[in-house]
């Protein structure tokens, strides 16, 4: 089987699902002093988690009909894809943290050593941990790009108006999964995206890129 070139982690699992006929399944400025919760790196929906060490954890949850399709075959395919990637890269850039099925739902969790591993494996864009200015240069974002105050949807600000003294960092991606930035406060998000928890954003699937300032 050729390497899966999905547009994002969620689409990667959907491509695998199609093969096996699945039916559906940092730096922050403030906010890092609280004890980590046991469930900080788990999710019940498609979610990409940025850890404090700038590693990535990708969660996928999809419906799976075991009466019709083989979970064992699916798991073997996933293992083969990850092993093939690591062999080609010459390093263990990806690790399978979880591949389970419970009550007809497949849960897959992959750990990525670097954002580059995420990008290469999924054919997605994922840029994080750098200044907004560096993000603008990489993606040629317009200076007047409108950002929404994550905690006050009625307040907006242009990307160029960000206070450079605040040491903000930026995350830019075209992945439509939820984005969770562990141990960080999220200050601004792109239009259409929604802050669902202090450190987690539900992305708007209609947006071509998601910009998160933290």
> Mind listing the pLDDT tens digit for each residue in 85-95?
999 998 889 99
Domain count, the chain: 2
41: Cβ–Cβ under 8 A, 6 or more apart, which residues? 49, 51, 57, 182
Between the alpha carbon of residue 77 and those of residues 4, 62, 82, the distances in Å are 11, 16, 9
Residue 4 lies in a domain: no
Judgement on whether residues 130 and 186 belong to the same structural domain of the protein: yes
Judgement on whether residues 166 and 131 belong to the same structural domain of the protein: yes
Residue 1 lies in a domain: no
pTM here is 0.80
pLDDT in tens, 187-213: 999 999 999 988 999 999 999 999 999
Placement of tokens 């547009």 in the chain: 7
Judgement on whether residues 27 and 114 belong to the same structural domain of the protein: yes
Closest CA to 59 of 10, 102, 101, 26: 10
Last residue of a domain, one of 106, 122, 138: 122
pLDDT in tens, 93-123: 999 999 999 999 999 999 999 999 999 998 8
Judgement on whether residues 91 and 146 belong to the same structural domain of the protein: no
Last residue of a domain, one of 122, 140, 175: 122
Judgement on whether residues 76 and 150 belong to the same structural domain of the protein: no
Judgement on whether residues 46 and 118 belong to the same structural domain of the protein: yes
CB 52 within 8 A of CB 182: yes
Domain interval for residue 115: 9-122
Residue 3 lies in a domain: no
């Amino acid at each position: 089987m050729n390497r899966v070139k999905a547009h994002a982690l969620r689409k990667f699992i959907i491509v695998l699902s199609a093969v096996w006929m699945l039916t559906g399944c940092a730096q922050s400025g403030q906010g890092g002093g609280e004890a980590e919760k046991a469930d900080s790196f788990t999710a019940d929906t498609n979610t990409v988690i940025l850890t404090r060490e700038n590693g990535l954890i990708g969660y996928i949850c999809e419906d799976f009909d075991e009466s019709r399709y083989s979970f064992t075959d699916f798991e073997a395919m996933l293992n083969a894809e990850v092993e093939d990637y690591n062999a080609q890269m010459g390093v263990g850039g990806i690790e399978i943290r979880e591949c389970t099925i419970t009550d007809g739902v497949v849960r897959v969790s992959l750990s990525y050593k670097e954002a580059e591993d995420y990008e290469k494996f999924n054919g997605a864009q994922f840029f994080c941990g750098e200044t907004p200015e560096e993000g603008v240069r990489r993606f040629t974002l317009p200076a007047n790009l409108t950002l929404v105050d994550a905690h006050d949807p009625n307040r907006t600000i242009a990307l160029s108006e960000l206070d450079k003294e605040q040491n903000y960092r930026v995350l830019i991606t075209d992945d439509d999964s939820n984005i969770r930035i562990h141990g960080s406060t999220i200050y601004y998000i792109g239009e259409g995206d929604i802050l669902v928890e202090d450190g987690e954003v539900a992305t708007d699937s209609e947006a071509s890129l998601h910009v998160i300032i933290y």
